[in-house]
């Protein structure tokens, strides 16, 4: 088996609350290999989103080891974090679209942070963006601004934006929450395709039991600890 793209060992994390440290993650150890989809489940407040943001270098690790795509993130410098983020696709619960850009332009923004896509030029980026919007069923909405899109359509644009660069690692926080059953199934099948064809690693937080079958593993978090895999 190839080396894991994610290796977490004895990760601890705490938030400061009323002057005291409140543990959020406790002794987390987890590995995810290329081509693998891992779903994180557990009750609200169990640390799922905190762990997801740490895997993407959006929140600093406090103790333990967090190796992502070959880089150690504990005490990593800004250049290391920037290189990592360029290889990671993020899908958040809030779609985080830029309101002054069309759907296609929002997807292109996801490509413009990648030097090799910038070298290929705007036409290539627009072509890739249009292809992804077609795959999420929004080809006819490419020139629409977010205010003209429904909540589910905005989320599908966000999914297209994350998938367009064909990231090595995809991190998704409740990506199907705003989608109907058909759109949700389409989205996770695109994730499966990214994992199978590009050998990307995918970690997804979800409460949607209808998509659990897409996973290679389901990992449960309770009170900041991994209790089941």
Are 76 and 103 contained in the same domain? no
Q: How many domains does the chain have?
A: 2
User: Is it the case that residue 99 has pLDDT exceeding 80?
Assistant: yes
* C-alpha to C-alpha distance for 208 and 52, rounded to whole angstroms: 17
Give the 3-state secondary structure of residue 9: strand
Q: For residue 206, is it within any domain?
A: yes
Q: Give a yes or no: residue 92 inside a domain.
A: no
- 64-95 pLDDT, tens digit each: 999 999 999 988 888 888 888 888 999 988 88
In the numeric block, which tokens belong to residue 61?
């690790």
- Alpha-carbon distance of 88 to 63, in angstroms, equals 22
Q: Are residues 2 and 55 in the same domain?
A: yes
> Do 173 and 74 share a structural domain?
yes
Query: What range does the domain containing 204 cover?
Result: 1-87+167-229
Task: Out of 166, 186, 210, pick the residue that ends a domain.
Answer: 166
- What mean pLDDT comes out for the span 48-53? 92
| pTM of this structure | 0.92
Q: Is 212 found in the same domain as 150?
A: no
Residues 5 and 74 in one domain: yes
Size of the chain, expressed as the number of residues it contains: 229
DSSP class of residue 15 equals E
- Residue 174 and residue 149 share a domain: no
C-alpha distances out from residue 41 to 33, 104, 134, 158, 205, Å: 19, 32, 30, 22, 6
Looking at the domain assignment, is residue 224 inside a domain? yes
């Amino acid at each position: 088996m190839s080396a894991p793209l994610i290796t977490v060992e004895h990760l601890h994390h705490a938030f400061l609350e009323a002057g005291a440290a409140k543990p959020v993650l406790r002794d987390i150890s987890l590995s995810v290999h290329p081509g693998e989809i891992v779903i994180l489940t557990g009750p609200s407040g169990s640390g799922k989103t905190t762990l997801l943001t740490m895997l993407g270098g959006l929140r600093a690790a406090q103790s333990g080891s967090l190796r992502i795509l070959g880089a150690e993130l504990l005490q990593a410098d800004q250049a290391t974090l920037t290189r990592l983020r360029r290889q990671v696709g993020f899908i958040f619960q809030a779609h985080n679209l830029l309101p002054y850009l069309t759907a296609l332009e929002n997807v292109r923004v996801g490509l413009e942070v990648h030097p090799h896509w910038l070298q290929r030029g705007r036409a290539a980026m627009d072509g890739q963006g249009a292809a992804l919007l077609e795959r999420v069923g929004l080809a006819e909405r490419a020139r629409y601004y977010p205010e003209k899109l429904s909540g589910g359509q905005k989320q599908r644009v966000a999914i297209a934006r994350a998938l367009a660069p064909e990231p090595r690692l995809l991190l998704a926080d409740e990506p199907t929450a705003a989608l109907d059953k058909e759109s949700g199934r389409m989205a996770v099948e695109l994730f499966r395709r990214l994992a199978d064809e590009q050998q990307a690693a995918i970690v997804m937080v979800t409460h949607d039991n209808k998509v659990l079958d897409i996973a290679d593993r389901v990992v449960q978090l309770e009170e900041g600890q991994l209790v089941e895999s």
